[in-house]
Each structure stands twice: as structure tokens, then as C-alpha cells.
């Protein structure tokens, strides 16, 4: 149908996301999917049974806007056990309809026209567009090209009286880096005695490797008092399609976030919330994730040991970066297309995570796949 109306786009330079484009091409070429951070294996059958039980028990209507009380209480208990701080389940914990919704609700609630928001590139692709939709200015700062860590001197230079928020993501997608104590110290120093809010994307909080500690903002009282933490049940329980997460923040900030959340979705899916209450009672359901995914990381790395790729360290998340400049001068986007066509393996070009399309000759691989897919994917990539 041809419309007589002409839309005035708020995001005229934004098209279909790279994840959709790569997914469609992968399907066309019957390629193995090492591109998307979504597991291709089944979740715990008990979790599915829990959802079915909740449905049969009649929990099929709207949940309370902030989430069912039992789940908010369980989340407060979990955070206190892991990070040593107690969030009030009534006013400081909200169950959200995916971490993505939590990011949008938080930025929309707390960022105003004319504000500036600092974040780090390469980055999850929604940060900048969400900021722009508020009439605010995204201020991307590139991570160092050698080890993809934050240059805090650049952050200090970028802070202005209009800086309202700094978005951090640890463990980091797509670079698989994690914050250390030095990062925390600089973040404290730069935000002390300011009105800057920290939005901490911690969806991979339980996927940290080699004995490292996850540096949650909840662990540090000076940062927790100005931070909104967003996390994901989907990432922790292998159910990314269920779209349920949670948000933690001091009551004053959470009150504003809930105002937006209630008009976006009102509440997250009800039967899933009941199932997650039961799942959280078993700490091994999330505490075993680091070892689980470290085995998958190592399996993929081992399979690629004879390839021509240079693998960068993966310290957390579902991902690792692979450099191909040693044997190809192609643009990363062209190289990814060739991998789909010739090797029948789908990956993501790192340039897709930069607002200016920076091409460092790197691709992102996801190891959130079953072992057979990782082994076969590595075999195919070794033939490149």
C-alpha cells in the first residue's frame, strides 16, 4: 500500500540492525550461527515446567507493574548475598520486559533534551539511538585499540556541565573485557560530587572467566547510590526469547524509571516471573555459568588454534574477537559476507558496533552455542 503521508524520521540514519541482516543471510546460505548472543540449546527443563505450572495455576494476567513481590524479594536476597548490599524490594527492584526495555526506560526517564550521555565504543547498538530519541547528545568514547580498555583521561576530558549519564557495560559486549579495580577507582573519582548517573549494563554478570570478580556497581556504595543496574534473566537462564530482566536503583531514581516502564509495557510476562522465583532458589542455576561458558570459550579457541585468525582474550560475556588482518585486507563487513557464502559461518563485523563504522579488521564470534556447532564452526573457519 502506498501511503499519502510522509513520515518525519527521528532516526533518519538508522536502518535494520546488523543482527537482522546477518541472520537473514545466514538462513539463505544455511550458515552456522556464531553471530548472535543467543543460545541454540535448550534451557533447564525444570524452568519450562515452572512456566507451564504457573500457567495452569492461573497466573496468566498482568503482573504488578514492578513485578511480582516474590521475585523482587528473591532478587533482593540474591544481590545481598552476592554483592553485600540490600535493595528494598518494594521501591528499588523492578522486573522489566527485557534488559533492552530497562535501558530504554532508564535513559528515557533520566535523560533530558540538551543533556549529554557518555558511553564507550564499540558498544551495544541501542545506546546511541535511545539517547538521541530523548533529544540528548550521545558522546561515544572509543576504547583503546590495543586492549579495548577505557582511557579514563579521555572520559575526564569529555565530561561537561551537561553530562547527565555515563553508560558502562561489564562484562563488555562485544569486546569481552571486564572492569577491574582501577576502572572502579577512576569512575568513583570522576563522578564524585557530580549529578552524573551511571547506567550499568550488567547482563553478563555471571559470565566472568578465569577466576575474575564481576565489578557490579552494587559492590561499591559510592557508585551504587548514583547507579541504575540492568540485568537479564534471558542471558543467565538461556531463554533470551522470554524477554525478562530486572533493574536495581535507589528509590529516587527508580521512581522515575517506573513512570516510564508503566507506560511502555506495564509489566513483564507473568508466568515467567513465577518460574524465575523457583529458579533463583537454586544458586547453582546462575553461579555455574562462568564455568559453563568458559568451557565453551575454550572449546572454540581450541578449535581455532590452527586457523589463520588471531584470537583476542575473552574475559567475560558470550563472545570473543578474532583478527583477520594478518591474511586479508578486506573491509570487515565484506569479510563477514564472504564467511557466510564460502565457509557458511555467520559472524558480526566489529565495525557494526561503532557509530562511525571504525574498521579494525576484527569480527565477533559467539560461543553461546552447543558444542557440536562450536566444533563444526571452528573447523569451517580453519579452512579460510
Residue pair 174/163 in contact (Cβ under 8 Å)? The answer is: no
Ranges 4-18, 84-98, 299-313: which has the least confidence = 4-18
For residue 24, pLDDT beyond 90? no
Are 34 and 51 within one domain? no
Are 115 and 89 within one domain? yes
Are 265 and 201 within one domain? yes
**78: domain CATH number?**
3.40.640.10
Q: Grid coordinates standing for 174?
A: 562485544
Are 244 and 302 within one domain? no
Are 83 and 112 within one domain? yes
Task: Work out how many domains the chain is built from and give that number.
Answer: 2
Residue 89 falls within a domain, yes or no? yes
Are 267 and 321 within one domain? no
Domain boundary among 257, 285, 313: 285
For Cα atoms 187, 191, 192, give the angle at the middle one, nearest 5 degrees: 110
Are 231 and 295 within one domain? no
Which residue bears the cell 517506573? 258
Residue 12 falls within a domain, yes or no? no
**What's the confidence (pLDDT) of residue 17?**
74
Taking residue 79's Cβ as centre, other Cβ atoms within 10 Å add up to 22
Distance of alpha carbon 194 from alpha carbon 182, whole angstroms: 20
Domain boundary among 258, 285, 312: 285
Of all residues in the chain, the percent with pLDDT exceeding 70 is 100
Confidence of residue 16 (pLDDT cuts 50, 70, 90): confident
pLDDT tens digits along 30-84: 999 999 888 999 999 999 999 999 999 999 999 999 999 999 999 999 999 999 9
Residue 7 falls within a domain, yes or no? no
**What's the confidence (pLDDT) of residue 3?**
72
Domain boundary among 285, 319, 337: 285
pLDDT tens digits along 311-358: 999 999 999 999 999 999 999 999 999 999 999 999 999 999 999 999
pLDDT tens digits along 226-261: 999 999 999 999 999 999 999 999 999 999 999 999
Confidence of residue 110 (pLDDT cuts 50, 70, 90): very high
For residue 380, pLDDT beyond 80? yes
Are 322 and 333 within one domain? yes
Residue 323 falls within a domain, yes or no? yes
For residue 2, pLDDT beyond 80? no
**What's the confidence (pLDDT) of residue 196?**
98
**What's the confidence (pLDDT) of residue 181?**
96
The domain of 330 spans 18-38+288-381
Are 257 and 300 within one domain? no
Amino acid at each position: 500500500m502506498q501511503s499519502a503521508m510522509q513520515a518525519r524520521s527521528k532516526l533518519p540514519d538508522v536502518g535494520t540492525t546488523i543482527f537482522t541482516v546477518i541472520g537473514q543471510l545466514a538462513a539463505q546460505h544455511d550458515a552456522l550461527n556464531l553471530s548472535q548472543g543467543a543460545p541454540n540449546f535448550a534451557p533447564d527443563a525444570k524452568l519450562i515446567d515452572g512456566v507451564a505450572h504457573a500457567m495452569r495455576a492461573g497466573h496468566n494476567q498482568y503482573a504488578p507493574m514492578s513485578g511480582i513481590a516474590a521475585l523482587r524479594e528473591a532478587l533482593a536476597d540474591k544481590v545481598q548475598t552476592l554483592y553485600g548490599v540490600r535493595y528494598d524490594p518494594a521501591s528499588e527492584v523492578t522486573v522489566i520486559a527485557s534488559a533492552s526495555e530497562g535501558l530504554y526506560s532508564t535513559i528515557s526517564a533520566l535523560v533530558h533534551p540538551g543533556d549529554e550521555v557518555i558511553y564507550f565504543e564499540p558498544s551495544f547498538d541501542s545506546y546511541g539511538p535511545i539517547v538521541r530519541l530523548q533529544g540528548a547528545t550521545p558522546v561515544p568514547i572509543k576504547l583503546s585499540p590495543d586492549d579495548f580498555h577505557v582511557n579514563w583521561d579521555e572520559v575526564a576530558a569529555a565530561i561537561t556541565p551537561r553530562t547527565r549519564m555515563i553508560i558502562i557495560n561489564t562484562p563488555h559486549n562485544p569486546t569481552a573485557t571486564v572492569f577491574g579495580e582501577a576502572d572502579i577507582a577512576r569512575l568513583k573519582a570522576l563522578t564524585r560530587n557530580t549529578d552524573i548517573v551511571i547506567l550499568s549494563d550488567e547482563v553478563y554478570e555471571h559470565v566472568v572467566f578465569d577466576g575474575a570478580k564481576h565489578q557490579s556497581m552494587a559492590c561499591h556504595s559510592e557508585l551504587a547510590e548514583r547507579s541504575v543496574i540492568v540485568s537479564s534473566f534471558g542471558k543467565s537462564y538461556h531463554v533470551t526469547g522470554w524477554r525478562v530482566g530486572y533493574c536495581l536503583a535507589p528509590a529516587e531514581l527508580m521512581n522515575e524509571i517506573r513512570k516510564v516502564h508503566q507506560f511502555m509495557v506495564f509489566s513483564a510476562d507473568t508466568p515467567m516471573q513465577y518460574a524465575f522465583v523457583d529458579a533463583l532458589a537454586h544458586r547453582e542455576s546462575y553461579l555455574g555459568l562462568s564455568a559453563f561458558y568458559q568451557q565453551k570459550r575454550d572449546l572454540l579457541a581450541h578449535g581455532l588454534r590452527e586457523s589463520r585468525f588471531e584470537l583476542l582474550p575473552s574475559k567475560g560475556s558470550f563472545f570473543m574477537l578474532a583478527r583477520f588482518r594478518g591474511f586479508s585486507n578486506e573491509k570487515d563487513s565484506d569479510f563477514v559476507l564472504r564467511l557466510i557464502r564460502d565457509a557458511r559461518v555467520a559472524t558480526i563485523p566489529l565495525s557494526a558496533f561503532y557509530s562511525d563504522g571504525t574498521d579494525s579488521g576484527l569480527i565477533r564470534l559467539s560461543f553461546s552455542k552447543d558444542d557440536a556447532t562450536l566444533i563444526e564452526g571452528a573447523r569451517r573457519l580453519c579452512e579460510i
